Amino acid sequence: MVGRIHSFESFGTVDGPGIRFVLFLQGCPLRCQYCHNPDTWGSGGTEYSVEEVAERALKYRNYFGDKGGVTATGGEPLLQIDFVIELFSLLKSKGVHTCVDTSGIMFHPDDPASVEKHKKLIEVTDLFLLDIKHIDDEACKKLTGQSNRNTLAFAKFLSEHGKKMWIRQVLVPGLTDGEDSLLETRAFIDTLATVEKVEVLPYHSMGVVKYEKLGLEYPLKDVVAPTKERVQGAKKILNEGRA
């Protein structure tokens, strides 16, 4: 089994618990306006076998130990779900904690084959970092080019199967920071049984240089980062609901 990998990070601290070995898989069906990794969108990347990636990750086991592990992110890692399943199966046999950072966009609740594939995935994945791009479907389509239907269905799927998840919300001024939408997101989270944590990720424009190198126009060039007060307010709503 061969996967297309964009890059590796050997000492990740923001992609799950503890210190993580992080692999960024190539390819993504979303076009999030705030994406800071547009270089992961296409079909490039370098091919690695499951064994090569596992060997590379296990070299850092003394660093991530029992409190950390390996995280697959992207791009959208589940665009290469077969590779992730095989890799995580190997890592789990070595006692490694596994985590997927995903939008859930590849989960198709009405497709039995997709459901079965994701059942295999959750058997070898300890934690999911689920990115809810926008709780409103039409707003999500404008923001990412895709509906949020699969994302929300995947959240329910994880909850129903007892899989731990962290919900992530990128806070973009004027796009994802409205109080009503944050409250609606909180109400949705309340329907899930296995959410361990809710993270608010403040928007930043550090990916602009990548757009320039790729000859792409950055869609949010006039948007500034949210204030600390706005971030704290969003965290309060998403973790507690209305005061």
The answer to which of 127-141, 159-173, 198-212 has the lowest mean pLDDT is 198-212
CA dihedral of residues 53, 25, 137, 121 (deg, nearest 10):
-20
State how far the alpha carbon of 197 is from the alpha carbons of 19, 82, 129, in Å.
17, 27, 9
Q: Are strands 2-12 and 46-49 parallel, antiparallel or unpaired?
A: antiparallel
Band (pLDDT 50/70/90 cuts) for residue 241 is confident
Query: Taking the mean position of all CA atoms in its chain, how far away is CA 239?
Result: 19
Contact by Cβ (8 Å): 24, 74 = yes
**185-230 per-position pLDDT tens digit:** 999 999 999 999 999 999 988 888 889 888 999 999 889 999 999 9
| Residue in this structure with the two tokens 């058997």, named with its chain if needed | 123
Position 242 pLDDT exceeds 70: no
Largest CA distance in the chain: 50
State how far the alpha carbon of 68 is from the alpha carbons of 17, 58, 83, 88, 164, in Å.
6, 12, 21, 14, 15
Residue 168's identity, in one-letter code, is R
Q: What is the pLDDT at residue 116? A: 98
Position 130 pLDDT exceeds 80: yes
* Helix boundaries (H) for the chain: 50-58, 61-64, 81-93, 112-123, 137-144, 149-160, 179-189, 208-214, 228-240
